[in-house]
Amino acid sequence: MIKKLRKAVLPVAGLGTRFLPATKATAKEMLPVVDKPLIQYAVEEARAAGIEQFCLVTGRGKTALVEHFDIAYELEATLKERGKHRELRDLRENHLPPGAIATVRQQEPLGLGHAIWCARAFIGDDPFAILLPDDLVLADTPCTKQLADAYYETGGCVVAVSEVPHEQTNRYGILAIGHDDGRLVEVLGLVEKPKPEVAPSNLSIIGRYVLMPQVMEYLSRMERGAGNEVQLTDAMAKLIGQVPFHGLRYEGRRFDCGDKVGFLEAQIAFALKRPDLAPAVRAFLKTYMHECATPAG
């Protein structure tokens, strides 16, 4: 029997150094894409997949992430008094039920695997999703919902994958694959950041996972991998053969919002999906394209 997927872990302890000075006093996951912070996109995506409980793996200076999902009574009262009903509705859609969100602290930056291990008490014996808020996916069906559907189909572990240029395999966790039906890929092995000449494929894991709790047994060994960090990829690889393990070619477009160019591109793409913003955005894009095409006088 396949157990219901109810829990999600969101690792958010990073310092966001690539966005300094913007992230000097603000968590990078609070940076907005159009008018919602990255952390809200991740939570909304998980809720669309039926996730009910959330664990934020945080670090120092990250209290705003939790406060964002709290009820701001004074603000809501002010909006109500001023008749700002749309803004009030948007705020209330962001509410989480009492007890739905928990936090644990990752005191040392020892890698993604270590961050997930910090959430071991929250995970217990349940399957769980992982969402990296830096990876923002624009899709008609939310990416985690696609993963959850695949999980209920296959059981075991399911990771979201996409093809990357062969020369860039040393930036990602790469799959060794077996049967491939064009959507679901049998995972035979996982390699963290292999050099292009030894990479088993060019299928890369993005920041969306559904994992079995058995991965904690291997994370608890604190074995160091690439970058001298505790790598989640290494622990996942040890589950292959113990539980079903598949990669899902998700539908949608991923934006790396941990990168400045990816973050800027996400702003444009998500704005163009908004009926209230798209016409104005298209208009100013045409202006800039014209300026770029016009030779300097």
Is 109 in the same domain as 132? Answer: yes
Low-confidence ranges of the chain (pLDDT < 70): 294-297
Q: Look at residue 82 and tell me if it is in a domain.
A: yes
CB 166 within 8 A of CB 152: no
Tell me if residue 236 falls in helix, strand or coil.
helix
Is 133 in the same domain as 218? Answer: yes
CB 2 within 8 A of CB 152: yes
Q: Look at residue 96 and tell me if it is in a domain.
A: yes
pLDDT at position 296: 58
| Entry pTM | 0.91
Is 67 in the same domain as 133? Answer: yes
Residue 31: phi, psi to the nearest 5?
Answer: -65, 135
Is 71 in the same domain as 44? Answer: yes
Q: Look at residue 196 and tell me if it is in a domain.
A: yes
Is 293 in the same domain as 183? Answer: no
pLDDT at position 297: 53
Contacts of 284 (CB under 8 A, 6+ apart): none
In angstroms, how far apart are the furthest CA atoms of the chain?
70
Is 188 in the same domain as 293? Answer: no
Is 287 in the same domain as 142? Answer: no
Q: Look at residue 230 and tell me if it is in a domain.
A: yes
Q: Look at residue 2 and tell me if it is in a domain.
A: no
Q: Look at residue 1 and tell me if it is in a domain.
A: no
Q: Give the integer Cα–Cα distance in Å for 20 and 7.
A: 32
Q: Look at residue 114 and tell me if it is in a domain.
A: yes
Total domains present in the chain: 2
Q: Look at residue 38 and tell me if it is in a domain.
A: yes
Is 290 in the same domain as 157? Answer: no
Is 152 in the same domain as 67? Answer: yes
Residue 160: phi, psi to the nearest 5?
Answer: -80, 135
Is 242 in the same domain as 278? Answer: no
Is 200 in the same domain as 291? Answer: no
pLDDT at position 70: 86
Boundaries of domain holding 111: 7-258
Is 183 in the same domain as 292? Answer: no
pLDDT at position 120: 95
